[in-house]
Chains A and B, each alone.
Chain A
Amino acid sequence: MSGTDVKRSVAPGVRLGQVSFVWRPWLVSVTLLLAAATFLVFCLSIGVGDFPIGLSRVLATILGGGERVDEFVIIDLRMPRALAGLIVGVALGVSGALTQSIARNPLASPDILGITGGAGAVAVFLVTVSGGTAAAVVSAVGLSAAALAGGLGTGLLVYFLAWRRGVDGFRLILIGISVSAVMEAITTWLLATADIKDVARAQVWLVGSLEGRSWGEVRVALWCTLVLLTVVSCVAFQFKPMHLGDEVAAGLGVRYSMVRAVLLLCAVLLAAVAVSAAGPVPFVALVAPQVAMRLARCPTPPLAASGMVGALLLIGADLVARTALPITLPVGVVTAAIGGPFLVYLLVRANLR
């Protein structure tokens, strides 16, 4: 163990003009393997259903050479749901990795930056409070969009409340926990006073679901995620001292603070996109980076691998939820039921080694 540690710490650096990184073959192969596994589960998920389609035909159709019938089932009916799972998983995984790196705290996740809490409070309010304004809002912009606005608003509120001559990771998290606690208290109170039928509906939304996604919703989420991921991958290279501590960071000057602020904003926006597409799926953002970090044997959560683990977790959970379970459960329940124990398994295995 210690031998490889030494070897890794002197791993060869690669420099291409402005861009430089450490060449870590293990990390690269883990990421590629995760990507391959994700693609496989993605195809499997598309193939499974009332009208089963074999893996080869799924592949052919995705690549543009399939039959007309398959094309209808796959592209029009099943693709949006699978793609939503993929996007949400990647967005949550990367968002979690960024948050945990910036806060240097493994318990930090975008959930505690207020996005989930804010979106949940708005959605539960709209579901449980019947009457003029709430109904008008829902019919005008839709529940998801209203919840997204709530989540984004809360996330930005947290960010600005934490702003005091720059954003300090620790302050951000404590403020985030406070604001989230308020939002969750409002949600709890709304649930405790509402009609029980509305409570069940709200509860399903609160857990996160991929049920009935349409291409319209997915397309928006896809473009937003792609743009955000591009920004993240351009900026992340300048964020190498991520885990060196605030003193080092301060010494690195304004440019560093800027980079950190941009990445944090990206984390908030990625989480918001995920909430808009699937509701506040819990725990993926918390678990995925920790799992990726342990699989890839990195000191900090690796961004790409975290995204892949998130996607794998979400699509896999959706597949399990649709096929293996006797009752239909929202995907968020299954991600938590799989993700939690897997994290514990990795911890125990690492301790036994």
Chain B
Amino acid sequence: MGTTAMERPLARGTTEARRRRVVGMGALVALLVIAGAVSLAVGARALSPGEVWHGLFAAPDSDQRLTEIRLIVRTVRVPRTVLAIVAGIALGVGGALIQGYTRNPIADTGLLGVNAGASFAVVSVITLFGFTDPFKYVWFAFLGAAVAGVVVFGLASIGRGAGNPLTLALAGQGITVFLAAMTTAVALSDQASLNVLRFWNAGSVAGAGFDVIRPVALFIAVGLVLALTTLPALNLLNLGDDVARGLGVNIALSRTVGIVAITLLAGAATAACGPIAFLGLMVAHVARYLTGPDYRWLVPYAGLLGAVVLLVCDIVGRLVVRPGELDAGVVVALLGAPFFAVLVWLGKFKNT
């Protein structure tokens, strides 16, 4: 079929836009690879590229120094880097999805109550069972996050306003408020849990081993698959419920899938790293600025951006207060927020 004069510029425009988006995504992946490489080399003990390579791939040998490097790279740097990437993707995608599903541009992944649920579970098990080992309470954190997410979504789907974005946002806020109060109450009456809570609250990708990362990554992978399947429907939902219904979207199903995806993504990331605030909100806006409102592009962009930002912030945190470290969650806010504010001031973001 021949294209008419009217159609051609339009077609060329979309091809052009598509090309730009693909190039942008390639650039983000490249950035991520570079940041990952830097992340392996940088830290309390700086390693040369050759040493990193050796640490990753060389067979064990008798040299004391090289064995040490191998140990640092494999048991400290690699898990940390992998967790930053996995959690960053999860929080970025989660942030973009929650803003889409609540149609609220200030919604964050914490909104469904997952952060508050995880925090409450952590202080509770520390107070009740005296756990101080992070590998033990990661499971409870995830359980707390999941339960909070399910309760919020359940409450928001009762009756006539089922899954209404406003109801969802406010129910999330109400449950968050309640859980945060309970967390404070427990923490104030038990100094041991207050002590753990204050470190947990900072949000960090350090210290977790693969025994923690593997299950977390599995949950996140399931969440990502669910998230990707719901994107076309999310695009239509943002035209309004009536339009979406008219176009054949099963609104209840697509909302449920979306919320389950957000809970899995944000819950798993929070369980492994602690509540990392602001990241999801920020990268969702930047991604929307880069790609436009099409969620099929916006969401992958947000995921890659989330990974890059979290990884870079973790690297910066290792460098600025040596020999100590700043937690990645703290750096995200300290670095990301001013950067974000400048973009806001320049008028880069639109009210959705």
Which residues of A line the B interface, CB within 8 A?
105-108, 112, 161-162, 164, 170-171, 173-175, 177-179, 181-182, 184-186, 188-189, 191-192, 196, 199-200, 203-204, 207, 282-283, 286-287, 290, 327, 329-330, 332-337, 339-344, 347-348, 350-353
Cross-interface CB contact of B191 among A185, A196, A282, cutoff 8 Å: A196
B349: chain A residues within 8 A (beta carbon): 170, 174
Output the least CB separation between A347 and chain B (Å): 5
Question: What are 16 inter-chain pairs, A to B, with CB distance below 8 A?
Answer: A107-B107, A162-B345, A175-B341, A178-B278, A178-B341, A181-B337, A188-B198, A188-B201, A192-B327, A203-B188, A337-B182, A340-B178, A340-B179, A344-B178, A347-B161, A352-B158
- Please give the number of chain B residues whose Cβ is less than 8 angstroms from any Cβ of chain A in the complex: 62
**CB of B244 within 8 Å of the partner chain:** no
Asked whether B2 is an interface residue with its Cβ less than 8 Å from the other chain, the reply is: no
Which residues in B have their C-beta under 8 angstroms from that of A283? Answer: 177
Give min CB distance, A103 to chain B, whole Å.
9
Residues of A within 8 A of B106 (CB): 105, 107-108, 112, 173-174, 177
B218: CB under 8 A from chain A? no
Asked if B289 lies at the interface with its beta carbon under 8 angstroms from chain A, I say: no
In the bound complex, do residue A286 and residue B341 qualify as a contact, i.e. CB atoms below 8 Å apart?
A: no
Q: Which of B171, B178, B195, B201 contacts A196 (CB 8 A)?
A: B195
Q: Please encode chain B, from 173 to 197, with 1 for each CB lying within 8 Å of some chain A CB and 0 for all others.
A: 1111111111011011101001100
How near does chain B come to A296, taking the closest CB pair, in angstroms? 16
* A175→B285 CA distance, assembly (Å): 13
Nearest A residue (CB) for B332: A185
Is the CB of B167 closer than 8 A to any CB of chain A? yes
Question: Is B213 on the interface with A (CB-CB < 8 A)?
Answer: no
Given contacts A107-B173, A340-B177, A347-B174, contact A181 B182 (CB under 8 A): no
The answer, among B105, B332, B347, for a CB contact under 8 Å with A164, is B347
Taking chain A's interface residues, is the majority helix, strand, or loop, or is none over half, making it mixed? helix
Q: A200, B173: Cβ atoms under 8 Å? A: no
Residue of B nearest to A284 (CB): B177
The answer to the question of B338 belonging to the interface, with a C-beta cut-off of 8 Å to chain A, is: yes
The reply to whether A348 and B159 form a contact with Cβ atoms under 8 Å apart is yes
Bound Cα distance from A182 to B337, whole angstroms: 6
The answer for the CA separation of A179 and B184 in the assembled complex, in Å, is 23
Taking the nearest CB of chain B, how far is it from the CB of A9, in angstroms? 20
**Most chain A Cβ neighbours within 10 Å, of B176, B179, B202:** B202
Number of CB contacts from chain A to chain B under 8 A: 177
A107-B107, A175-B345, A196-B194 known; A347 vs B171 contact (CB < 8 Å)? yes
Evaluate contact between B329 and A185: CB separation under 8 angstroms. Answer: yes
Q: Are A351 and B184 in contact (CB under 8 A)?
A: no
B166 within 8 A of A: yes
CB pair B170 A343 closer than 8 Å:
yes
With contacts A107-B173, A174-B344, A329-B185 taken as known, whether A347 is within 8 angstroms of B167 at the C-beta atoms is yes
Q: Please state if A174 and B188 are interface contacts (CB–CB under 8 Å).
A: no
The answer, yes or no, to whether B76 is at the interface (CB within 8 Å) is: no
Instruction: Choose from A171, A181, A290, A333 the contact partner of B333 (Cβ within 8 Å).
Output: A181
- Tell me, in angstroms, the Cα distance from A196 to B277 when the chains sit together: 23
Given contacts A200-B188, A207-B184, contact A339 B198 (CB under 8 A): no
**How close is B57's CB to chain A, nearest CB, in angstroms?**
36
Residues in A with CB closer than 8 Å to B177 are: 282-283, 286-287, 336, 339-340, 343
Which partner residue on chain A sits nearest B187 by CB separation? A203
The CA of A282 and the CA of B183, in the complex, are separated in Å by 14
CB distance from A124 to the nearest CB of B (A): 11
Q: How far is the CB of B134 from chain A (nearest CB, A)?
A: 15
> Given A173-B106, A174-B344, A351-B162, A282 and B327 touching (CB < 8 A)?
no
Whether A171 contacts B159 by the Cβ 8 Å rule is: no
Q: Shortest CB–CB separation between residue A149 and chain B, in angstroms?
A: 21
A241 → B minimal CB distance (Å): 17
The 5 A-B pairs with the shortest beta carbon distances in the complex, nearest first, are A336-B181, A340-B177, A185-B333, A340-B178, A351-B159
- Chain A residues near B180 (CB, 8 Å)? 282, 336
- B164 proximity list for chain A (CB < 8 A): 351
Set of chain B residues within 8 Å of A106, measured between Cβ atoms: 166, 169-170
B199 contacts the other chain (Cβ, under 8 Å)? yes
Cβ contacts B310-352/A at 8 Å (1 or 0 each): 0000000000000000110111111011101100110101010
- Which A residues touch B69, using CB under 8 A? none
Query: In the complex the two chains form, what is the Cα distance from A329 to B34 in whole Å?
Result: 49
Residues of A within 8 A of B111 (CB): 107
Q: Is the CB of B338 within 8 A of A178?
A: yes
At the interface, yes or no: B160 with Cβ under 8 Å from chain A?
Answer: yes
Which residue from chain B places its CB closest to the CB of A190 in the assembled complex? Answer: B198
Give the chain B neighbours of A282 by CB distance below 8 A: 177, 180
B47 contacts the other chain (CB 8 A): no
Q: Is the CB of A181 within 8 A of B155?
A: no
Contacts of B329 in A (CB 8 A): 185, 188
- In whole Å, how far is B283's beta carbon from the nearest beta carbon of chain A? 13
CA distance A106 to B303 in the complex (A): 27
Q: What residues of chain A lie closer than 8 Å to B250, measured between beta carbons?
A: none
Give A185's nearest chain B residue, CB to CB. Answer: B333
Is the Cβ of A204 less than 8 Å from the Cβ of B188? yes
Contact, CB under 8 Å: B185 / A333: yes
Contact B181 A340 (CB under 8 A): yes
- A200 to B188 CA separation, bound complex (whole angstroms): 7
Distance in angstroms from B339 CB to nearest chain A CB is 9
B38 part of interface (Cβ distance < 8 Å): no
* B-chain residues with CB within 8 Å of residue A112 when the two chains form the complex: 106
Q: Which one of A186, A192, A343 lies within 8 Å of B199 (CB-CB)?
A: A192
B281 at the interface (CB under 8 A from A): yes
Contact of B158 (CB < 8 Å), options: A161, A162, A286, A351: A351
Give the distance to chain A from B279, nearest Cβ to Cβ, in Å: 10
Q: Which residue of chain B has its CB nearest to the CB of A290?
A: B170
User: Which A-chain residue is minimally distant from B167 (CB atoms)?
Assistant: A347
B201: min CB distance to chain A, Å: 6
Alpha-carbon distance between A162 and B346 when the two chains are bound, in angstroms: 10
For the complex, give the distance between the alpha carbons of A15 and B229 in Å: 56
Nearest CB of chain A from residue B293's CB, rounded to whole Å: 16
B159 touches A184 (CB 8 A): no
Whether B185 and A343, one on each chain, are in contact in the complex, defined by CB atoms closer than 8 angstroms, is no
| A64: min CB distance to chain B, Å | 38
